[in-house]
Amino acid sequence: MIVVGALVKFAGPMIKKSFAARTERIQKELDDAANAKVKATSDASAIRSALGDIASERSRILADADAQAAAVLSEGRARIAKEVADLEAKADADLAAAQGRSNDELRAEISLLAAKATPIVIAKTLTDQTKNELVESFIANVGAAR
Protein backbone atom coordinates (compact mmCIF):
# COMPACT_ATOMS: atom_id res chain seq x y z
CA MET A 1 0.00 0.00 0.00
CA ILE A 2 2.79 2.30 0.84
CA VAL A 3 4.24 1.81 -2.63
CA VAL A 4 0.87 2.43 -4.28
CA GLY A 5 0.28 5.49 -2.05
CA ALA A 6 3.75 6.85 -2.91
CA LEU A 7 3.13 6.22 -6.57
CA VAL A 8 -0.22 8.01 -6.47
CA LYS A 9 1.27 10.90 -4.45
CA PHE A 10 4.44 11.39 -6.48
CA ALA A 11 3.65 9.83 -9.89
CA GLY A 12 -0.02 10.88 -10.00
CA PRO A 13 0.61 14.58 -10.74
CA MET A 14 3.19 13.67 -13.40
CA ILE A 15 0.83 11.27 -15.10
CA LYS A 16 -1.99 13.86 -14.98
CA LYS A 17 0.37 16.46 -16.40
CA SER A 18 1.52 14.17 -19.25
CA PHE A 19 -2.11 13.20 -20.03
CA ALA A 20 -3.08 16.90 -20.05
CA ALA A 21 -0.15 17.73 -22.35
CA ARG A 22 -1.05 14.83 -24.62
CA THR A 23 -4.71 15.93 -24.70
CA GLU A 24 -3.61 19.49 -25.44
CA ARG A 25 -1.32 18.31 -28.25
CA ILE A 26 -4.06 16.15 -29.78
CA GLN A 27 -6.57 19.03 -29.48
CA LYS A 28 -4.07 21.37 -31.18
CA GLU A 29 -3.62 18.86 -34.03
CA LEU A 30 -7.42 18.55 -34.35
CA ASP A 31 -7.79 22.36 -34.41
CA ASP A 32 -5.01 22.66 -37.00
CA ALA A 33 -6.66 19.97 -39.12
CA ALA A 34 -10.04 21.74 -38.85
CA ASN A 35 -8.43 25.06 -39.83
CA ALA A 36 -6.64 23.38 -42.75
CA LYS A 37 -9.94 21.84 -43.85
CA VAL A 38 -11.71 25.23 -43.70
CA LYS A 39 -8.85 26.86 -45.65
CA ALA A 40 -8.88 24.05 -48.23
CA THR A 41 -12.64 24.38 -48.59
CA SER A 42 -12.40 28.15 -49.11
CA ASP A 43 -9.50 27.68 -51.55
CA ALA A 44 -11.53 25.09 -53.45
CA SER A 45 -14.54 27.41 -53.69
CA ALA A 46 -12.25 30.28 -54.80
CA ILE A 47 -10.74 28.01 -57.46
CA ARG A 48 -14.20 26.91 -58.60
CA SER A 49 -15.37 30.51 -58.89
CA ALA A 50 -12.13 31.42 -60.68
CA LEU A 51 -12.73 28.56 -63.09
CA GLY A 52 -16.18 29.99 -63.75
CA ASP A 53 -14.59 33.39 -64.33
CA ILE A 54 -11.98 31.79 -66.57
CA ALA A 55 -14.68 30.08 -68.61
CA SER A 56 -16.65 33.31 -69.04
CA GLU A 57 -13.45 35.24 -69.83
CA ARG A 58 -12.47 32.55 -72.34
CA SER A 59 -15.89 32.82 -73.98
CA ARG A 60 -15.60 36.61 -74.11
CA ILE A 61 -12.09 36.46 -75.60
CA LEU A 62 -13.20 33.91 -78.21
CA ALA A 63 -16.19 36.07 -79.11
CA ASP A 64 -13.91 39.11 -79.48
CA ALA A 65 -11.51 37.09 -81.63
CA ASP A 66 -14.37 35.89 -83.83
CA ALA A 67 -15.60 39.47 -84.25
CA GLN A 68 -12.10 40.70 -85.12
CA ALA A 69 -11.61 37.84 -87.58
CA ALA A 70 -14.92 38.66 -89.25
CA ALA A 71 -13.95 42.34 -89.49
CA VAL A 72 -10.53 41.50 -90.96
CA LEU A 73 -12.14 39.09 -93.41
CA SER A 74 -14.70 41.69 -94.45
CA GLU A 75 -12.04 44.37 -94.88
CA GLY A 76 -9.85 41.97 -96.87
CA ARG A 77 -12.72 41.05 -99.17
CA ALA A 78 -13.58 44.72 -99.74
CA ARG A 79 -9.93 45.57 -100.45
CA ILE A 80 -9.58 42.65 -102.85
CA ALA A 81 -12.83 43.59 -104.62
CA LYS A 82 -11.55 47.17 -105.03
CA GLU A 83 -8.18 45.94 -106.33
CA VAL A 84 -9.91 43.60 -108.80
CA ALA A 85 -12.13 46.47 -110.00
CA ASP A 86 -9.08 48.70 -110.41
CA LEU A 87 -7.20 45.99 -112.31
CA GLU A 88 -10.21 45.37 -114.57
CA ALA A 89 -10.51 49.10 -115.30
CA LYS A 90 -6.77 49.29 -116.05
CA ALA A 91 -7.02 46.22 -118.29
CA ASP A 92 -9.99 47.75 -120.14
CA ALA A 93 -8.05 51.00 -120.62
CA ASP A 94 -4.99 49.07 -121.83
CA LEU A 95 -7.14 47.11 -124.27
CA ALA A 96 -8.74 50.29 -125.60
CA ALA A 97 -5.32 51.91 -126.00
CA ALA A 98 -3.91 48.83 -127.75
CA GLN A 99 -6.94 48.70 -130.03
CA GLY A 100 -6.51 52.39 -130.86
CA ARG A 101 -2.81 51.90 -131.60
CA SER A 102 -3.47 48.88 -133.79
CA ASN A 103 -6.21 50.75 -135.66
CA ASP A 104 -3.86 53.70 -136.21
CA GLU A 105 -1.08 51.38 -137.37
CA LEU A 106 -3.51 49.60 -139.71
CA ARG A 107 -4.71 52.93 -141.16
CA ALA A 108 -1.12 54.06 -141.68
CA GLU A 109 -0.25 50.77 -143.39
CA ILE A 110 -3.36 51.01 -145.62
CA SER A 111 -2.53 54.63 -146.49
CA LEU A 112 1.04 53.67 -147.37
CA LEU A 113 -0.11 50.78 -149.55
CA ALA A 114 -2.81 52.94 -151.16
CA ALA A 115 -0.27 55.67 -151.88
CA LYS A 116 2.02 53.13 -153.54
CA ALA A 117 -0.80 51.43 -155.45
CA THR A 118 -2.66 54.55 -156.64
CA PRO A 119 -0.20 55.63 -159.34
CA ILE A 120 0.02 52.09 -160.65
CA VAL A 121 -3.78 51.64 -160.77
CA ILE A 122 -4.35 55.06 -162.32
CA ALA A 123 -1.70 54.47 -164.94
CA LYS A 124 -3.27 51.15 -165.92
CA THR A 125 -6.93 52.24 -165.85
CA LEU A 126 -6.90 55.78 -167.20
CA THR A 127 -6.85 56.20 -170.88
CA ASP A 128 -6.19 59.43 -172.74
CA GLN A 129 -9.87 59.92 -173.39
CA THR A 130 -10.74 59.45 -169.66
CA LYS A 131 -8.02 61.93 -168.71
CA ASN A 132 -9.46 64.53 -171.11
CA GLU A 133 -12.97 63.99 -169.76
CA LEU A 134 -11.76 64.44 -166.17
CA VAL A 135 -9.93 67.66 -167.02
CA GLU A 136 -12.96 69.04 -168.90
CA SER A 137 -15.30 68.11 -166.05
CA PHE A 138 -13.00 69.80 -163.54
CA ILE A 139 -12.84 72.98 -165.62
CA ALA A 140 -16.63 73.02 -166.00
CA ASN A 141 -17.13 72.62 -162.25
CA VAL A 142 -14.59 75.36 -161.47
CA GLY A 143 -16.28 77.71 -163.91
CA ALA A 144 -19.76 76.90 -162.55
CA ALA A 145 -18.64 77.42 -158.96
CA ARG A 146 -17.85 81.10 -159.63
- pLDDT tens digits for 16-53? 899 999 999 999 999 999 999 999 999 988 887 777 67
What pLDDT, on the 0 to 100 scale, is given for residue 57? 80
pTM (2 d.p.)? 0.41
What are the percentages of helix, strand and coil residues in the chain, rounded to 5?
95, 0, 5
**Which residue from 47, 48, 51 is spatially nearest to 59, judged by alpha carbons?**
51
**Which residue from 54, 52, 51 is spatially nearest to 62, judged by alpha carbons?**
54
Ranges of each domain in the chain: 2-111
Region label for 127, one of left (φ > 0), alpha (ψ between -120 and 50) or beta (otherwise):
beta
| pLDDT mean across residues, the chain | 88
Average the pLDDT over 95-113 and give the result. 93
Average the pLDDT over 78-98 and give the result. 95
Instruction: Indicate if the pLDDT at residue 145 is higher than 70.
Output: no
Average the pLDDT over 6-10 and give the result. 82
